[in-house]
Amino acid sequence: MKPWLLIDTDPGVDDALAILMAHRHGRIAGLSIAAGNVGLDRTVANALKLCDVLGADIPVFAGCPLPLVRAAADAAHVHGADGFGDTGYLPSRRIAASEHAALAMLRISREHAGEMTIVALAPLTNLALALRLDPTLPQRVPRLVVMGGAVSGRGNTTLAAEFNVGFDPEAAAIVFGAWPRLELVDWELTVRHALDFARCEAWLATDDPRARFYAAISRKVRSFSRARGRTGLLAADALAMAVALEPGLVTAGEERHVAVELDGTLTRGSTIVDWERRGSASANARIVMAVDQARFEALVASALGAIA
Ligand code: RIB
Ligand code: CA
């Protein structure tokens, strides 16, 4: 049976690939939208456009326009000013639901109690608010898969911080402090599991509306990655979605306590892992350390229509 998914997302080019994967292999109960890669107005518009591309009436809920405490810079330099590669796409005529994302998350968790995975692909502002409104949320949600953090301090937005945690560290601290055992797909895992450019471009050449759309919106990110000397496309959210869709493709993991630094001049937003188990706090995260690359790529290729 395909899993029920609630996806918290800031589309975002790699978010878009994750959502294509979720539509192909899962059942999407809703998209709760965060600010992050670009502003909330754009991330909502991008989510609605993706529903057009999929021809799917997926509920879209706008969330918080700002981080909980301190303002943070977006990632438009990577994803484009519009968050989707500045292709100038024709906007969707769909509209987002009027319900706030945090409230929708709580309602949907009650409607799908015990059977839903939350896949957090954005700064954790919406999820943190939901947890503050209803601390019993984890009891109804068997799995939370988080794309975030850099478990050995190799960040992507600052030297030590990964973007989703670094954009709203207070929200991340709330989520990591409240969830008993989340599954963590961090930036360093993403780098280890890059998608080979040549294979990606072969998939994107498929005569399929999903491949055509993704080829267009990812052009800027692919150029950016090549210019940075990357060996392949780094699709963090797609990797997290693969773990959510097929837990069995995880080939190595570590259970550890993960905390979020809030105050360090150089380290704010970094994820601090108790690797030596020296602290008193018990593990709150299953850190994914390796996945089956072939199975990851099969989920991506099929989401683009490149394979069955
Ligand atoms: O650090 C990678 C994360 O930041 C991904 O979720 C990507 O979409 C960006 O938001
Ligand atoms: Ca994202």
Question: Could you write out the three-class secondary structure of 171-201?
Answer: HHHHHHHHCCCEEEECHHHHHHCCEEHHHHH
Q: Estimate to the nearest angstrom the gap between the alpha carbon of 98 and the chain centroid.
A: 23
161: pLDDT strictly greater than 90:
yes
Q: Find out whether 37 and 82 touch, Cβ atoms under 8 Å.
A: no
Res. 10 pLDDT band, cuts 50 70 90: very high
Q: How far is the CA of 67 from the centre of ligand 2 (A)?
A: 14
Q: What mean pLDDT, rounded, does the chain reach?
A: 98
89: pLDDT strictly greater than 90:
yes
Q: Buried (b) or exposed (e) across 27-56, using 16+ Cβ within 10 A?
A: ebbbbbbbbbbbbbebbbbbbbbbbbbbee
CA-162 nearest atom, ligand 1: 1
| Residue 78 confidence (pLDDT) | 92
Q: Find out whether 302 and 308 touch, Cβ atoms under 8 Å.
A: yes
Query: Which amino acid is it at 281?
Result: A
Q: How far is the CA of 116 from the centre of ligand 1 (A)?
A: 22
d(CA 85, CA 234): 15
Q: How far is the CA of 280 from the centre of ligand 1 (A)?
A: 31
d(CA 246, CA 221): 26
Contact 37 CB / ligand 1 (< 6 Å): yes
| Residue 1 confidence (pLDDT) | 86
Chain position carrying tokens 């990357």: 230
Query: Which amino acid is it at 251?
Result: T
| Residue 91 confidence (pLDDT) | 98
Contact 183 CB / ligand 1 (< 6 Å): no
Q: How far is the CA of 235 from the centre of ligand 1 (A)?
A: 8
Mutation pick for ligand 1 pocket among 164, 218, 271 (CB with most ligand atoms within 8 Å):
164
CA-36 nearest atom, ligand 1: 10
| Each residue's pLDDT tens digit, 230-242 | 989 999 999 999 9
Give the DSSP H or E segment for 250: strand 250-256
Mutation pick for ligand 1 pocket among 147, 154, 159 (CB with most ligand atoms within 8 Å):
147
Q: How far is the CA of 122 from the centre of ligand 2 (A)?
A: 4
Instruction: Report all structural domains of the chain as residue ranges with CATH numbers, in order of start.
Output: 4-303 (3.90.245.10)
How big, in percent rounded to 5, are the helix, strand and coil portions of the chain? 40, 20, 40
d(CA 115, CA 145): 14
d(CA 19, CA 24): 9
Contact 236 CB / ligand 1 (< 6 Å): yes
Q: Is 287 helix (H, G, I), strand (E, B) or coil?
A: strand
| Each residue's pLDDT tens digit, 49-77 | 999 999 999 999 999 999 999 999 999 99
Q: Find out whether 113 and 6 touch, Cβ atoms under 8 Å.
A: no
Q: How far is the CA of 46 from the centre of ligand 1 (A)?
A: 15
- Helical H runs in the chain? 13-25, 40-54, 76-79, 101-111, 125-133, 137-140, 163-167, 169-178, 187-192, 197-204, 209-227, 236-245, 293-303
| Each residue's pLDDT tens digit, 185-216 | 999 999 999 999 999 999 999 999 999 999 99
271: pLDDT strictly greater than 90:
yes
Sheet holding 60-62: strands in order across? Answer: 60-62, 27-33, 4-9, 116-120, 143-147, 182-185, 285-291, 250-256
Mutation pick for ligand 1 pocket among 20, 31, 37, 146 (CB with most ligand atoms within 8 Å):
37
Q: How far is the CA of 43 from the centre of ligand 2 (A)?
A: 10
Chain position carrying tokens 């973007």: 163
| Each residue's pLDDT tens digit, 174-189 | 999 999 999 999 999 9
Contact 121 CB / ligand 1 (< 6 Å): yes
